[in-house]
A and B are shown apart, each in its own frame.
Chain A
Amino acid sequence: AQKVTQAQTEISVVEKEDVTLDCVYETRDTTYYLFWYKQPPSGELVFLIRRNSFDEQNEISGRYSWNFQKSTSSFNFTITASQVVDSAVYFCALRGNNNDMRFGAGTRLTVKP
């Protein structure tokens, strides 16, 4: 069975702080994809990143970075120098050999000015 755990339900930081959102996954598939989505207060789901199971290189995109570690089944997301506009719910998701994507419960990030 596939499962995604986001243990942090809510995180609150002050603007310019760095923040890391944790994601731990379970799967028996050898080939799989991991995703992060952002859901701002407006409600839409915004795709942030996709990683496949064979590519453990960390990725940086502006203030965002992702740390994929197969040894600990984790795919953590760090926002550097957070901004108020980063306030949102962030979802980690996993897609394996079957067709469905399993989502974590989400982490609500609040960035205070």
Chain B
Amino acid sequence: NAGVTQTPKFQVLKTGQSMTLQCAQDMNHEYMSWYRQDPGMGLRLIHYSVGAGITDQGEVPNGYNVSRSTTEDFPLRLLSAAPSQTSVYFCASRESQGLGEETQYFGPGTRLLVL
């Protein structure tokens, strides 16, 4: 299994540009999520999905869109990038949405710089 993969590893955008961060997992996990990591603030949840066709907002959703058309993929879209979105983005997945023994696995991260 490749686990959770993310592309690209690094991206530079200009203010106002749009882009999609890709995330895929091959573990047939129902639950997927996106976090951003900023210095001194840990990881904060942006959006999550409990299954194909279902998404919901996390702690910091503004400026980001998501969709979940398949179990495997969970892309994160920035419609109009802002410097405040400069961060490291992590995608994660786990087996189910419920509270249980499942462990959350993280992708390697995407470092985004918005100029």
Binding site for B on A (CB under 8 A): 4, 6, 9, 31-33, 35, 37, 43-45, 47, 50, 91, 93, 95-97, 99-106
Among residues 32 to 87 in chain B, which have CB atoms less than 8 Å away from a CB atom of chain A? 33, 35, 40-45, 48, 50, 56, 58-59
B96 CB, min distance to chain A CBs, angstroms? 10
Interface size range on B against A: 20 to 34
Chain B contacts for A103, CB-based, 8 A = 35, 42-44
- Nearest 4 Cβ contacts at the A-B interface: A103-B42, A45-B106, A103-B43, A100-B45
With beta carbons under 8 angstroms apart, the residue of A6, A43, A105 that contacts B108 is: A43
Q: In the bound complex, do residue A99 and residue B104 qualify as a contact, i.e. CB atoms below 8 Å apart?
A: no
Residue of A31, A101, A104 with most chain B CB atoms under a 10 A cut-off: A101
Q: What would 19 more interface pairs be, CB under 8 Å, given A4-B42, A101-B104?
A: A31-B99, A32-B99, A33-B99, A37-B106, A44-B108, A44-B109, A45-B90, A47-B104, A50-B103, A91-B42, A95-B99, A99-B97, A100-B33, A100-B45, A100-B58, A100-B59, A103-B35, A103-B42, A105-B41
CA of A99 to CA of B59, assembled, Å: 11
B61 CB, min distance to chain A CBs, angstroms? 11
Chain A contacts for B104, CB-based, 8 A = 35, 47, 101
B86 CB, min distance to chain A CBs, angstroms? 15
